[in-house]
Amino acid sequence: MTLVAIIGLTAEALVTNALKRQAQARVGSEVAELFVQYQERGPDHLRRLVAARHAMHENRLHYAILGKDRRVMTGDPALAQVPHDGTFAADDAVHEFGRKPYDTMLAAARPLSDGSLLVAAIDLDSVEDVEDVVSGAFYVVLGMSLVLGLGTGLLLSRTLLNRLDAVTRTAEAINAGDLTRRIARTGTGDDFDRLSATLNAMLDRICALMESVRQVSNDVAHDLRTPLARLRQTLEDAARNSRTMTDYDLAVAKAMAEADGLLATFSALLRISQIEAGARRSAFQVVDLADIMQTVCDAYAPTIEDGGSPFDVHLPQGVMVEGDRELLTQLFANLLENAIGHTPAGTAIRVELERGGDGRSGRAAVSDAGPGIPAAEREKVLRRFHRLEQSRSQPGNGLGLSMCAAIADLHQAGVALSDNGPGLKVAMVFPLVG
């Protein structure tokens, strides 16, 4: 609004100024022209000319010759109001003066040799008319913009408030416990719509995390109940039925084994959450992945070979990655134990590591020719406590592969489970150093 006012005032001032300068030039040149006539043809000719021009009365121009006493000798009597001070005598400048019955006038004068004064003047009526038009237009525009501005302002703030309100209402509903609520989107793709989309995505992520926490705590409760129930049963049985020291010893040994299993599960859970928290990354060093894998293979080779399984190991020399030696050792140990534990005796097991074509990645894989995992189950086995139906009866706590996934994630190596035709292939792509 202020801007409109500034623009309006400036425009008016500019227009008025231009018109005034034009009028000044006009009276200036009139006086100069008449003065030339006076010099060339004398005072009588000038008097006639002034009288004639006054009689024509054109273009709001006024002419007069004032005597020494400033009375009008010839021409427009109104010009007697030209100020009587020395202003007009000294120079041929153009001056503004107020005069009745007209409005403001611009006048130029020239003193003549007999002491009289030649005056030409122009009404500023026209200039003032233009001024009036301009300022009139300006007030109309000002009014219109005032109405329009207030209107759109109101409309805009109403819309903004409405949309903010939608966000607030959603947030309140979520706070109240309804996690499924999302901010409604207008689909216009504007800033608000994008903000809504981002907030919704964040809410989805939080929901997924909450869901996984809920699932894990359910699983923990469920999977730890079973061994605890067995432990209790063992102790109760020992208390009621043991007759000899040998009976008691056996029961104690069984209870201890059960307790050890529980402790191992707890350690694994703690370790997984610690790994997932990512704090260990700060202790990363450059390590030789091939060397780590070789050590693990060396450790398991006798067990695998004694089980009658062919064991294939293909490792290049020196494949450097940034990582944690202890965790990487555990990663490959878990994968090998998985292969050993979930395949029948005599099933071929293969460990390989190869550099990617660009030399920036190393692909490590552990594969077996066992029964494998159905495609639908492959994602799920990486979750805590998830076990395939057929392996429920085998020893294990269902945490091995989820620990592998956590360790691989920490090392920015994605885990991919695939069909080894037959069997399972677990592959990871590690970013290499240097």
Residues in the site for other proteins, rule: CB under 8 A? Answer: 263-264, 267, 270-271, 274-275, 279-280, 283, 295-296, 298-300, 302-303, 306, 324-327, 329-330, 333, 337, 340-341, 395-396
**Which 3-state string (H, E, C) describes 51-73?**
HHHHHHCCCCEEEEEECCCCCEE
Q: Which is nearer to other proteins, 211 or 249 (CB)?
A: 249
Q: What is the CA radius of gyration of the chain?
A: 51
Q: Write b or e for each residue in 190-208: b if 16 or more Cβ atoms lie within 10 A of its Cβ, otherwise e.
A: eebeeebeeebeebeeeee
Q: How far is the CB of 165 from other proteins (least distance, A)?
A: 47
Q: Which is nearer to other proteins, 23 or 296 (CB)?
A: 296
DSSP 8-class letter at 432: B
Q: How far is the CB of 422 from other proteins (least distance, A)?
A: 22
DSSP 8-class letter at 423: S
Q: How far is the CB of 309 from other proteins (least distance, A)?
A: 13
Backbone angles phi, psi at 271, to 5 degrees: -65, -45
Distance, CA of 2 to CA of 314 (rounded, Å): 80
Is the bond leading into 422 cis (omega within 30 degrees of zero)?
A: yes
Q: How far is the CB of 249 from other proteins (least distance, A)?
A: 11
Task: Give 333's contacts (C-beta < 8 A, 6+ positions apart).
Answer: 296, 299, 300
Q: Which is nearer to other proteins, 179 or 264 (CB)?
A: 264
Q: How far is the CB of 323 from other proteins (least distance, A)?
A: 12
Cα 94 to Cα 30, 72, 110, 423, distances in angstroms: 11, 19, 10, 108
Pair 238, 247: CB distance under 8 Å: yes
Q: Which is nearer to other proteins, 359 or 395 (CB)?
A: 395
Q: How far is the CB of 321 from other proteins (least distance, A)?
A: 17
Residue bearing tokens 């008025």:
16
Distance, CA of 320 to CA of 322 (rounded, Å): 7
Q: Which is nearer to other proteins, 242 or 295 (CB)?
A: 295
Distance, CA of 205 to CA of 199 (rounded, Å): 10
Residue bearing tokens 């030789």:
288
Q: How far is the CB of 257 from other proteins (least distance, A)?
A: 11
Pair 318, 281: CB distance under 8 Å: no
Q: Which is nearer to other proteins, 141 or 259 (CB)?
A: 259
Pair 375, 420: CB distance under 8 Å: no
- DSSP for 309-330 reads --EEEE--S--EEEE-HHHHHH
Within 307-430, where are the H helices?
A: 325-341, 400-410
Long-range residue pairs from 233-241, CB within 8 A, at least 24 positions apart, any chain: 234/258
Q: How far is the CB of 283 from other proteins (least distance, A)?
A: 6
Q: Which is nearer to other proteins, 46 or 297 (CB)?
A: 297
Q: How far is the CB of 256 from other proteins (least distance, A)?
A: 9
Q: How far is the CB of 306 from other proteins (least distance, A)?
A: 6
**Around Cβ 227, how many Cβ atoms within 10 Å?**
16
Distance, CA of 212 to CA of 204 (rounded, Å): 12
Query: Under DSSP, is residue 396 helix (H, G, I), strand (E, B) or coil?
Result: coil
Q: Which is nearer to other proteins, 373 or 399 (CB)?
A: 399
Q: How far is the CB of 221 from other proteins (least distance, A)?
A: 21
